[in-house]
Structure 1
């Protein structure tokens, strides 16, 4: 059976109130500290749909959040999006679902919320998992050209122009899609085209779409990296176990970033897989095995 043929297990959908809108949260029942999975940009929680069946089959609870402005969560007109807001989204879900202990799983731009939750609530955090994510500054840290463009504050007028032109925005996405597939196997490239591509495309094509949240979050990227760099002393002192699961073929957030995170953490382990930027898609069974084994 291929990884893509696993059926998504039953879940309860919650709408968690969050300021001017509500979050869409999918709660997959199970035992133990819940794996609370956090997406980056420009995708949503469905990037974990290949991984969740493996966790559910082992009897573990998983909670999938669409951050405000993304996926099936509300996209209120005039909303202000930020990394602090995303941390607040996670806090709101933990409170609303009465989660005692959790394992936040941060991918890509979901990394800061996962780590900062653990720093703020160590007693509620059994462990943290990061997958091809960023936090503070690190040697070799590089972001995709698509993200680099939108994070450049001096080019805001240009990026707003791209957002207003679906054809030009699609061209940018197409360029980045090709770059992200470098080094992947043919099977992984096919899964990217069939599964991941539509998740990202639909994020922007739906109305209202994820464009405003994406633009605001990327605009704050360098500020967030700087803020988290200033927290590195607290990060080093944390006793919360850190589990790093990394795709070796990521051309941007490559393994050197994970190695730097491991070297600066008090209690960390690193697992490198034959995968790209989305190991939870490229190697779902391996990621599940590592998560279930614990740090």
Structure 2
């Protein structure tokens, strides 16, 4: 990859990890799904965690852009305790999965990759739960595979609005790559504190900062940053919000209203910025557009309610999951 070296993160005392998160330990055994896509051999890392007392249902967890399968640790523990089999993949381009030099990233492609994984595991009926970017992916999965989707759960999904249609200017992949290369643990922590946790910070959150910063700081940091730039383009240019009316499955929306996430917000004019990321309104608008939607909101929580307030969040999640009869 041509370009300058990544910014030095040693001042943040961040651990250094490999391009596929080598050195960062996941809470459950990591398995690998190998397959061919776009004329190349790829591997998708995933967690497959079985419950002690199965209830016959499987839930697929789709991570956000700044998250990994490991970030679902608390959710996996609680869901398996409640009887759910949990599949948590790292999507291609992220975390412990392949980082291709060239790949036509699309939510359709990532949904198809995930569907192939589930076929390999002989699973044909799932609840799909997505957080942040994973909410866009989970929505696309439910649109593509309604017969195999029992329920859709969206946790502070991004893409509840079309940023480019609202006036956010396009950022080229090259410019996005240059910005990605400047990321440090300090910058990641500052962003997460203000957006994910409403200004609060707990020591437990540091591991997720180190997870990301460690990949950027490692020897494969350039390809990590390049894949982040490619997927940023996917997120910006492929809105799913215009198809919410076509979602055919029961949908549970779990929204922290203090979230203000909007891709490209910093590039927009102050007037446009003022119109973006109002999750207290966006959640209600999404619930109105999705035909069979249930909305749960937390006025005091941010982008990651499942991490910020796990007891309250998972109580609402399990109640919403149980509302769907087998």
Same fold (TM > 0.5)? yes
- Aligned with residue 114 of structure 2, among 70, 90, 104: 90
**What TM-score comes out, normalization by structure 1 length?**
0.79
- Aligned with residue 153 of structure 1, among 148, 151, 170: 170
- Aligned with residue 64 of structure 2, among 30, 40, 44: 40
* Two-structure CA RMSD over aligned residues (Å): 2.8
Larger CA Rg, structure 1 vs 2: 2
State how far apart, in whole Å, the 2-side matches of 1:82 and 1:43 are: 18
Question: Is structure 2 residue 186 aligned with structure 1 residue 180?
Answer: no
**Any stretches of 5+ residues in structure 2 without a counterpart?**
1-25, 262-276
Q: 1:35/1:272 Cα in 2 relative to 1: closer, same or farther (>3 Å)?
A: same
Question: Is structure 2 residue 274 aligned with structure 1 residue 259?
Answer: no
- Aligned with residue 234 of structure 2, among 194, 208, 220: 220
State how far apart, in whole Å, the 2-side matches of 1:104 and 1:114 are: 6
For the Cα contact (< 8 Å) 1:42–1:214, is it kept in 2?
Answer: no
1:199 Cα shift? Answer: 2.7
State how far apart, in whole Å, the 2-side matches of 1:249 and 1:136 are: 15
1:266 Cα shift? Answer: 1.3
State how far apart, in whole Å, the 2-side matches of 1:230 and 1:271 are: 22
- Aligned with residue 17 of structure 1, among 29, 32, 35: 35
After superposition, residues 53-64 of structure 1 pair within 5 angstroms as 53-64=77-88
**What TM-score comes out, normalization by structure 2 length?**
0.73
State how far apart, in whole Å, the 1-side matches of 2:203 and 2:285 are: 30
Mean Cα deviation higher: 27-36 or 103-112: 27-36
Question: Is structure 2 residue 31 aligned with structure 1 residue 26?
Answer: no
State how far apart, in whole Å, the 2-side matches of 1:35 and 1:232 are: 21
For the Cα contact (< 8 Å) 1:54–1:285, is it kept in 2?
Answer: no
For the Cα contact (< 8 Å) 1:18–1:89, is it kept in 2?
Answer: no
State how far apart, in whole Å, the 2-side matches of 1:163 and 1:222 are: 15
For the Cα contact (< 8 Å) 1:69–1:212, is it kept in 2?
Answer: no
For the Cα contact (< 8 Å) 1:47–1:280, is it kept in 2?
Answer: no
Q: 1:241/1:175 Cα in 2 relative to 1: closer, same or farther (>3 Å)?
A: same
Mean Cα deviation higher: 269-278 or 36-45: 269-278
**Any stretches of 5+ residues in structure 1 without a counterpart?**
1-7, 143-147
Question: Is structure 2 residue 255 aligned with structure 1 residue 246?
Answer: yes
Q: In proportion to residue count, which structure has more helix?
A: 1
For the Cα contact (< 8 Å) 1:47–1:199, is it kept in 2?
Answer: no
Q: 1:206/1:223 Cα in 2 relative to 1: closer, same or farther (>3 Å)?
A: same
For the Cα contact (< 8 Å) 1:247–1:276, is it kept in 2?
Answer: yes
